């Protein structure tokens, strides 16, 4: 029996995929649990009520951040159903996944000394740090990035590649695990959604 709402050709959600649902004034993360014409999404927390009839689902693809408009409903406790309308839109190419995010960062140098600073911006490939000297271009460092109290810290082996005109050190990630990288990407993704708005 064919589903009541056939999926658009370019709708490429998968079961267990992580998504973000944009409501009128907030964003809630979720996990796709079923695909049967509508996506059955398990939410990280309760959505705002009354539920708006329409919303946005936003997710990461190999291309970058995708946005898809659709209809929302609540079929059961802790679940939200999303029926897509039309085709998804590429919101931001993955290689441009960068956001102005200021969070605490610990910089560990090769001699074991540490410097406490903050990020100026974060990307999938590196970080701009609110510090210049005594770091040097070409120096290997280990960054511990503290996203927030709900997220695990991100540790990455990095190298200082340049200094900005303001004197900030730019670090490029040279070794980071797949799971921490995905966590970092999703964090940046959600911050970008909050900044850009979602109407």
**Nearest CA to 18 among 66, 55, 63, 50?**
66
Residue 140: HSE in the Cβ half-sphere, 13 Å Cα cutoff: 6
Q: Delineate the domains of the chain, giving CATH numbers in brackets.
A: 18-94 (2.40.10.220), 98-189 (2.40.10.220)
For residues 142-171, give the mean pLDDT.
90
The pTM of the full predicted model, rounded to 2 decimals, is 0.61
DSSP characters over 151-179:
S--EEEEEEEEEE-TT-PEEEEEEE--HH
Instruction: Out of 96-100, 102-106, 137-141, pick the least confident.
Output: 96-100
Cα-only R_g, the chain: 19
Give the H/E segment covering residue 17: none
d(CA 112, CA 17): 39
User: Beta strand 114-123 with 98-99: parallel, antiparallel or unpaired?
Assistant: antiparallel
Which residue's entry shows tokens 């079929």? 75
**Residue carrying the six token digits 């267990």:** 16
pLDDT tier, 24 (very low <50, low <70, confident <90, very high otherwise): low
Average pLDDT, the chain: 83
Q: At which residue do the structure tokens 């927390």 appear?
A: 45
- Res 96: pLDDT: 65
pLDDT score, position 90: 84
CA distance 156 to 143: 5
């Amino acid at each position: 029996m064919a589903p009541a709402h056939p999926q658009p050709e370019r709708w490429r959600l998968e079961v267990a995929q992580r998504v973000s649902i944009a409501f009128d004034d907030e964003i809630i993360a979720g996990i796709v649990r079923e695909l049967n014409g509508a996506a059955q999404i398990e939410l990280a927390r309760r959505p705002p009520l009354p539920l708006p009839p329409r919303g946005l689902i936003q997710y990461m693809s190999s291309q970058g951040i995708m946005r898809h408009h659709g209809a929302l409903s609540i079929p059961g406790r802790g679940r939200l159903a999303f029926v897509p309308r039309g085709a998804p839109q590429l919101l931001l190419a993955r290689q441009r996944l960068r956001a102005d995010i200021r969070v605490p960062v610990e910089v560990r140098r090769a001699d074991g000394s540490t410097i406490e600073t903050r990020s100026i911006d974060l990307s999938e490939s590196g970080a701009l740090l609110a510090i210049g000297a005594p770091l040097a271009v070409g120096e290997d460092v280990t960054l511990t990035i503290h996203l927030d109290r709900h997220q695990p810290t991100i540790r990455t082996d990095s190298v200082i590649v340049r200094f900005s005109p303001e004197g900030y050190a730019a670090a490029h990630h040279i070794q980071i695990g797949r799971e921490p990288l995905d966590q970092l990407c999703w964090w940046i993704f959600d911050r970008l959604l909050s900044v850009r708005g979602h109407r």
